Chain A
Amino acid sequence: MSIKIINLNVSFDDKEVIKDLALELPDQGVVSIFGPSGAGKTTLFNCLAGLITPDSGQIIGLENKKLSMVFQENRLLPWFSALKNVAFVINGDEEKARRALSWLELSDAADKLPDELSGGMQRRVAVARALAYGGDVLLLDEPNAGLDESLAERMMSRILEQWSGRLVMLITHDSSLVEKFADYRYDLS
């Protein structure tokens, strides 16, 4: 069953962020969500993840789906190594976590704390964590932040290899990534 967003409305302090949004998402492929800052892209992701309750409207079809996410911020535990950060979401399975880090060329950084990693490496650890967790839907909120163009493209290719046959939703300001990887595009502005 595909995911349907029906007349979604979200406002913060009387400011409408999402107004009457209606959208039907495919079961697989890459859906790129774009629009200017403040258009409600991250808010839409937070609604899908259940972190925000919309003022009105419905999201149907997510009930039996497992959702994984790369947040706008890295949200890594500062006291855990890269490996333990990934293992944290998969019941401490360090073998699987190590595999996920290697997909993103982070094998050498496994034992380092987030503070000892560059911004781009921290970002990839956050992506590795989401991939290791797995699921039916992957929400990527600016996954390429802090990465140069070639690394961002390589990372997207790896993500899609691991997530094939399932749905990926992507927020990015990088039009070349959208051009290259998005199957569907939705303009929130």
Chain B
Amino acid sequence: MNKMHNKKALSVLKGVAVALFWLAVWWVLALAVNKQLLLPSPLEVGERFCALIVQGEFWVITVSSLLRVLAGFALGMVVGLAMAILMHKSKIIFALFSPFIKAVRATPVASFIILALVWITSGRLPVFISFLMVLPVAWANATSGIENTDKQLLEMAAIFKVKTWRVWVDIYWPSLRPYLLAAATTGLGLAWKSGITAEVIASPKFAIGSELQSAKVYLETPDIFVWTIVVVFLSIVLEKLLLRLLRKGMS
């Protein structure tokens, strides 16, 4: 028990040491550049961060962005899984939709954002873009999971005339779980990055991307740093939290 505690403490210490090292590098570089506009110091960014988090708007912006990205992610996972099932069951559906998925995969995210701006309101665009980025990942992983399901178990279920829904719930689903978890890990990062990018371009109300965009326009470099740190922090926390939840929910 003591050994485990020591190991954990050592790992935390190591993490703090690495963080302090890079903070020092940043500080030295900021001192060398000596221009807040180009590279603010950690202290200046820290001050700005403290000033922002006490404002109610900071939390509204952060939660709004979070909800948009999560909505797009969840939609992408569900539709990707549903498409994988339908395309597995019907060759016609497969023939119809596989070019669509290939096209979504190959198209740069910026093209979609600009194109979708014509059709969708700026508030919904990040949801749509996150959805579109997660969809092919969820589809591809779910398809692999379905294709790699043990054929012998499926034959067994066929011989014993097990109901189709039971085959999906009790054979396909347990086989799919690790593939979906892998899709969720990759998809969440993609959803987050593409969602914030869409916010930068579409500039909806109450959005981290819009704050980044306005900070760029008004040359408020410390704000760009603050919002970027918020994005990175949330991305890490969200990934850990959501994956833990998914693992728990799927087991």
Q: Which residues from chain A sit less than 8 Å from chain B, CB to CB? A: 49-51, 67-69, 71, 73, 75, 77, 79-80, 88-89, 91, 129, 133
Is B159 interfacial (CB-CB < 8 Å)? yes
Known contacts A75-B152, A75-B153, A77-B171; is A69 also within 8 Å of B166 by CB? no
Q: Which residues of A contact B155 (CB under 8 A)?
A: 51, 71, 75
Q: In the bound complex, what is the Cα–Cα distance between A49 and B155 (angstroms)?
A: 10
Q: How far is the CB of B217 from the nearest CB of chain A, in Å?
A: 55
Q: Is the CB of B160 within 8 A of A68?
A: yes
- The size bracket of the interface on B is 10 to 19
From A67, A71, A77, contact of B170 by CB (8 A): A77
Q: How far is the CB of B150 from the nearest CB of chain A, in Å?
A: 8
Q: Which residues from chain B sit less than 8 Å from chain A, CB to CB? A: 152-153, 155-160, 162-163, 166, 170-171, 174
Q: In the bound complex, what is the Cα–Cα distance between A69 and B159 (angstroms)?
A: 8
Q: Is the CB of A73 within 8 A of B159?
A: no
Q: In the bound complex, what is the Cα–Cα distance between A2 and B130 (angstroms)?
A: 62
From B159, B170, B174, contact of A88 by CB (8 A): B170
**Would you give 28 A-B contacts (Cβ < 8 Å), ordered by A?**
A49-B159, A50-B159, A51-B155, A67-B159, A68-B159, A69-B159, A71-B152, A71-B156, A75-B152, A75-B153, A75-B155, A75-B156, A77-B153, A77-B170, A77-B171, A77-B174, A79-B174, A80-B170, A88-B157, A88-B160, A88-B162, A88-B166, A89-B157, A89-B160, A89-B162, A91-B163, A129-B160, A133-B160
Known contacts A68-B160, A89-B160; is A73 also within 8 Å of B170 by CB? no
Q: Which residues of B contact A77 (CB under 8 A)?
A: 153, 170-171, 174
Q: Which residues of A contact B156 (CB under 8 A)?
A: 71, 75
Q: Which residues of B contact A69 (CB under 8 A)?
A: 159
Q: How far is the CB of A130 from the nearest CB of chain B, in Å?
A: 8
Q: How far is the CB of A114 from the nearest CB of chain B, in Å?
A: 12
Extra pairs beyond A69-B159, A77-B171, A129-B160 (9, CB < 8 Å) = A68-B160, A71-B155, A71-B156, A73-B152, A75-B155, A77-B174, A80-B170, A88-B162, A91-B163
